[in-house]
Chains A and B, each alone.
Chain A
Amino acid sequence: MGHPTTTTVAAAPRAALASLSRRLPRRVNMRRNLPALGRKLAISLTSMAIFLLLWQLSAGYLYGVEATARIERTTQEQGADAGAAMAACIASGDVSCKPNTLPFPREVVRAAGLLLADHRAIRTKQAEFAAETAELNAARAARGLAAITYTGRPSFVDQIGTSLKTVVVGFLISLLIAVPLGIVIGLNENLRIAFNWMIQVFKPVSPVVWLLLVFMIVKTLTLGSDTDTSFLISSISVGLCAMWATLVNTSVGVSSVNQDYLNVARVLQLGIGKKIFRVILPSAIPLIFTGMRITVSVAWMVLIAIELLAQSPGLGSFVWEEFQNGGSDSNAKIIVAMFVIGLVGFLLDRLMFMVQGRVSFEKAIG
């Protein structure tokens, strides 16, 4: 054991063995985990079925309450005959007298189909428009005039795209502010004290108030120009609402680096730049990315409220317009939007989780 050469030589195959055994379990586990996966799937599917059943039952109950109230009101106001006619009308399922309440699951599925069909129709119209104006636009371009663009109503899918664009811009704004500021605050205790009250006070402020604040400022700054500021306002508001988690996590991550790592930096007498970029920041990265993940979720959540208020295009204004419309399938469309919002939020979170896993030396917590 003690002989000098044997230790060195023996270590190599042992190391190879260690790396092999570290790779093996994954494959073995996949096979062993298959029943566990099946169990998870079965439980999820069952709970979905129960969810749909409860939804169906409560929608039916609410439908009944609404229908009864409507028939009674008609009977009181216009007599028994009109009441009977109303009952018959409701029973026939006619759109004109449909009780307006929580939609059934099947109505939501139908509304989703309608929204997709509507999207395809709008795309066709856009294509036709482009074909019709191609010649004209070419001529206009030759004369140095701006091209005529399609100004029709955006489809539901377009609204999702707009919302995503807003949230991405808002997220970038919050990163641009929160990460550098968080690093600076984390490095300097005096600055941390200076900023502490601001973070504590502004963090809980509602998105609505941020929107109004941003509106005040942007309105004044863009006086005289007639550009559409609604996108700018909503994305800045989203950024300001969502940046706090990243700001706090970055400063905590930077200020609470493991003392062992700092001792290494001290013993090696690393310069301040090397200390920050090779020791402090890498060690803070897991926390920074956890903050960014929360920021994305918050950004998506407040986005809907902000769009709804700012009248900027997107899913929020879609929901609001549908609610104002009060059409026979408006409620179903709102529920469709709800599921889409939830799914997109979930996907955004998964995306951030993957990024987090890539950059972090620790295991991310799903």
Chain B
Amino acid sequence: MTTMPPAAPISLRDVVLDFRDLTKTYPTPTGEYVVLEKLQLQIKKQEFVSIIGHSGCGKTTLLTMIAGLNDISGGEILLNEFPITGPGPDRGVIFQSPSLLPWMTALENVQLGVEQVFPHATRRQRQDISRYYLDKVGLGSLLHRRASQLSQGMQQRVGIARAFALKPKILLLDEPFGMLDSLTRAELQDVLLEVWDKEKITAIQITHDVDEAIFLADRVIMMTSGPRAQIGDILPIDFARPRRRKDILNHPDYYGYREHLIGFLEH
């Protein structure tokens, strides 16, 4: 393993998400199964964080707890200093499966959330918001296509548009490109980064893909294998933004980062 760069000190003011002794247990017939134990982590404002680890280490559990879709067994997650108790549109989720409502059009799917978040805006304003983000993800010409008639990649584009259109405080991405082929995946990573560079919404992404983690994130958080998963290592990625795939791949530090991550995962 290469030497670890010193972690940059985080000032308390900039912390958006603060995990304090976060614990998750599932009851089983043979006693409690501890997925996460006393996990500590702080995430800064406007930071893009990738969480990487082996299957079953509790990454998705962690994400669903931030989303409020999964109960917290012990400790707490503070969002802007307030503990999370349930789901809400202030945390936009991009699920692994696009989770669009298949009977609605692309526009209607985005609108459903926008109506909820901007109840006082006029119909026109809400439409403009939805159209803006759908256009940003390259679906400007397919607004009225039913979700069930879009390809997986297209559906996930709508998912990205929907999440950003809610103007959330935090963006949660649960292996959003895991179900896509590698070409579509690269395409969507570019789309995601392009929108993200404009909005700079604090983002937490779960991934299995080492290259994806490096390309997207400011910090890569490596989790140890469960049970009793912990944070094993944190790797800051010091590439300037906006990032371009070609520049990143040719960057002299790239393979160092890559080796560090693979070394951790194979350990």
Contact = CB atoms under 8 A, between A and B. Distances in A.
A260 B244 contact: no
A4 interface: yes
Interface in A263-290: 263-264, 266-270, 278-279, 282-283, 285
A19 B187 CA distance: 19
Contacts of B112: 264, 268, 270, 278
Interface residues of A, number: 30
B82 interface: no
Contact of A261 (B69, B99, B136, B197): B99
A8 interface: yes
Interface string B105-149: 000000011001100000000000000000110111110011011
Nearest to B95: A260
A3 B67 CA distance: 32
A2 interface: yes
Interface string A233-272: 0000000000000000000000000001101101111100
Contact of A18 (B93, B101, B102, B151): B151
A17 to B, nearest CB: 11
A16 interface: yes
Contact of A2 (B88, B97, B99, B246): B246
Nearest to B100: A264
Interface residues of B, number: 46
Nearest to A3: B244
Contacts of A12: 138, 140-141
A16 B104 CA distance: 20
Contact of A282 (B68, B103, B116, B142): B103
A263 B135 contact: no
A142 interface: no
A336 B194 CA distance: 70
Contact of B101 (A10, A264, A266, A267): A264
Contacts, number: 92
Contacts of A16: 141
A56 B89 CA distance: 72
B186 interface: yes
Listed residue (A18, A269, A283) with the most chain B CB atoms within 10 angstroms of its CB: A269
Interface string A276-319: 00110011010000000000000000000000000000000000
A267 B138 contact: no
Interface string A3-38: 110011011100110110010000000000000000
Interface string B163-192: 000100000000000000000001100110
B77 to A, nearest CB: 16
Contacts of A10: 138
A282 to B, nearest CB: 4
A361 interface: yes
B227 interface: no
A365 interface: no
Interface string B17-54: 00000000000000000000000000000000000000
B87 interface: yes
Contacts of B89: 267-269
5 contacts: A4-B242, A11-B138, A267-B88, A268-B113, A270-B112
Given A263-B69, A267-B91, 8 more contacts: A2-B246, A15-B141, A261-B101, A263-B93, A267-B87, A270-B112, A282-B101, A362-B102
Q: Which 4 A-B pairs have the closest CB atoms?
A: A11-B138, A2-B244, A260-B99, A361-B103
